[in-house]
Structure 1
């Protein structure tokens, strides 16, 4: 199936660079977010106390650029001068760049922009007895926290935003895909995939089984395949460059353009 139009599903305001890369390759990029991000207007007492005790932590881990976007203003509200002696970590280069804008230099796992990549970093291999703060959104995977706890770390979280399903009427998402003649959808997270499935009826999902999906990991691709999608392209991670490389590799393999 020849693909002309590609759907980018990043949160509003975060997909422009990816769309530019898609358009530069001769496709038509469209945007329809599968995640809506909302700040938490009031911190629960437990999480407020964690921010106040930031200088007592050894490791501060940001699991996304959105965690930086929403979390660093919260931290700076309590700590206009950040405490010294902390080890800062970012799940990927984009998250590290976001932290750099706040004057923070973070360690990253390189190409493997995942929880597993973070866990392989030297500073987190032997963290028994040390306090670790995960800055994140509400919910999400807990594999990172579980493994750090298994290593003996004292793991606590700072949830500073929530992710919600876009407010679309029944059938609206499928209608947009048909209207734009979407042949390939780029999905950046497992939660984005889950939201897409929630926005589609079983019949609509069945009708989309021949649509290609570009997904950020084998884990998310397995979930897509279990939902009935037959053409899952696995990117190295969720970054723009990785998504575009997956598109390039698919074009090279199939000759589609």
Structure 2
């Protein structure tokens, strides 16, 4: 029987290869089971299409995730082969900002707290009364950025460019993976990933696996995990591969 720790990686398909490789290099048994499925929208709503056409009329363009960059920049490129200048571009998180740089942009990103709250604390978004803000995102989500910036007087539009949904698994499949693979720790990338995990486990299965360690990307998601009945939760600095690996290192060292 294998003795090295088993780690479940839950990133969407196509976004886990580097993390899986790093885990294997660290001597860990890495198993991939996406807890989030992504797909582009088949067609933009008229309001969203107009927002893209009017991109040069915004002062601030905010990408809430790496997925927003992936789907959003492809969409924007269909209308703007050369991006407009004079806009402030933002990426929530180090991975999001890195991807924006690949498009020749110089994004503004929170240096430490890489989430909505960290972005909203940035100086350049404090005095935005009368400014136009475009938020590139998936359908749904928290909505906190739009709400707070609107309260500060900004005109906020959203560009939903992809859809997230829970993967389809047969009942008991996730629990079987956790048991058969002797999973010791689950890497959760987002609050929605946690919600999908809980929906894919029955109440009895959640109780059975309640002692599995969860590594989550923020205190908010940690609180949700603990409320759901998982007492063993470690909070990474953010959702990036580097932060998850560092949290996992601390877990292996027993540093809670």
Q: Same fold (TM over 0.5)?
A: yes
Aligned twin of 2:105: 104
Q: Distance in 2 between matches of 1:176 and 1:119?
A: 39
Aligned twin of 1:73: 74
Distance 1:254 1:150, change over 3 A: closer
Structure 1 residue 254 displacement after superposition: 5.7
Q: Distance in 1 between matches of 2:74 and 2:64?
A: 16
Q: Distance in 1 between matches of 2:90 and 2:141?
A: 18
Q: TM-score, normalised by structure 1?
A: 0.95
Aligned twin of 2:238: 237
CA contact (8 A) 2:4 2:29 kept: no
Structure 2 gaps of 5+ residues are none
Aligned twin of 2:34: 33
Once the two structures are superposed, the pairs formed by residues 69-148 of structure 1 within 5 Å of their partners are: 69-148=70-149
Structure 1 consecutive aligned stretches of length 4 or more whose deviation exceeds 3 Å = none
Aligned twin of 2:227: 226
Structure 1 residue 116 displacement after superposition: 1.2
CA contact (8 A) 2:64 2:92 kept: yes
CA contact (8 A) 1:3 1:184 kept: no
Distance 1:155 1:197, change over 3 A: same
Instruction: Report the secondary structure of 1:73's partner residue.
Output: helix
CA contact (8 A) 2:4 2:27 kept: no
Q: Distance in 2 between matches of 1:176 and 1:253?
A: 25
Structure 1 residue 153 displacement after superposition: 0.8
Q: TM-score, normalised by structure 2?
A: 0.96
Q: Distance in 2 between matches of 1:243 and 1:21?
A: 11
Aligned twin of 1:42: 43
CA deviation vs aligned residue, 1:135-173 (integer Å, no higher than 9, x gap)? 000101111111111111111100000101101111111
Aligned twin of 2:217: 216
Structure 1 residue 101 displacement after superposition: 1.9
Instruction: Report the secondary structure of 1:162's partner residue.
Output: strand
Q: Distance in 1 between matches of 2:94 and 2:235?
A: 19
Structure 1 residue 92 displacement after superposition: 1.7
Q: Distance in 2 between matches of 1:213 and 1:253?
A: 14
Q: Distance in 2 between matches of 1:102 and 1:27?
A: 34
Distance 1:3 1:193, change over 3 A: farther
Q: Distance in 1 between matches of 2:56 and 2:50?
A: 12
Aligned twin of 1:199: 200
Aligned twin of 2:158: 157
Structure 1 residue 3 displacement after superposition: 6.6
Structure 1 gaps of 5+ residues are none
Aligned twin of 2:170: 169
CA contact (8 A) 2:10 2:187 kept: yes
